[in-house]
Amino acid sequence: PPPPPPGPLDFSGTKLVNDAEHPFMDARPGDIRGPCPGLNTLASHGYISRSGITSCSEIITAVMEGFNMENNLAIFTCYSAFLVNGNLVTDKLSIGQKTAKTGPDPPKPATVAGLNTHNVFEGDTSMTRADAYFGGDNHSFNETLFQGFVDFSKRYGGGKYNLTVAGEYRYKRIQDSIATNPTFNFIAPRIFSAYSESVNPINLWVDGRQDDGQLDTEVARSFFQKMRFPDDFHRAARPMNGENELDVLAAHPIEPGTNVNGVNTYTPDPTSGTLPDKCTLYENHVNRTVRSLYPNPTGNLLVALKANMHYFYTSVQPKGCKEIFPYGR
Q: Is position 129 an interface residue for ligand HEM (rule: CB under 6 A)?
A: yes
Q: Cβ closer to ligand HEM: 241 or 302?
A: 241
Q: Which residues pair with 87 in a beta bridge?
A: 92
The least CB distance from residue 296 to ligand HEM, in Å, is 26
Residue 208 interface partner, choices ligand HEM, Mg ion, none, CB cut-off 5-8 Å depending on type: none
Q: Cβ closer to ligand HEM: 96 or 299?
A: 96
Q: What is the distance between the terminal CA atoms of the chain, rounded to a whole angstrom?
A: 14
Q: Is position 37 an interface residue for ligand HEM (rule: CB under 6 A)?
A: yes
* Piece of the chain touching Mg ion by CB under 5 A; list 10-18, 41-49, 138-146, 269-277: 138-146
Chain positions 79 to 118 lying near ligand HEM, rule: CB under 6 A, are: 81, 115
The least CB distance from residue 35 to ligand HEM, in Å, is 4
Dist. CA 294–CA 298, nearest whole Å: 10
Residue 113 interface partner, choices ligand HEM, Mg ion, none, CB cut-off 5-8 Å depending on type: none
Q: Is position 203 an interface residue for Mg ion (rule: CB under 5 A)?
A: no
Q: Is position 126 an interface residue for Mg ion (rule: CB under 5 A)?
A: yes
Q: Is position 189 an interface residue for ligand HEM (rule: CB under 6 A)?
A: no
Residue with CB nearest ligand HEM?
38
Dist. CA 310–CA 133, nearest whole Å: 34
Q: For residue 156, give the 3-state DSSP assignment.
A: helix
Of 75, 96, 273, 252, the residue nearest 186 (C-alpha): 273
> At 215, which amino acid appears?
L
What pairing do the DSSP bridges indicate for beta strands 266-268 and 257-259? Answer: antiparallel
Q: Which residues pair with 215 in a beta bridge?
A: 161
Report yes or no: 132 and 124 within 8 Å, Cβ to Cβ.
Answer: yes
Of 193, 215, 190, the residue nearest 202 (C-alpha): 215
What residues make contact with ligand HEM under the rule CB under 6 A? Answer: 35-39, 59, 63, 67, 69, 74, 77-78, 81, 115, 121-123, 126-129, 193, 197, 200-201, 204
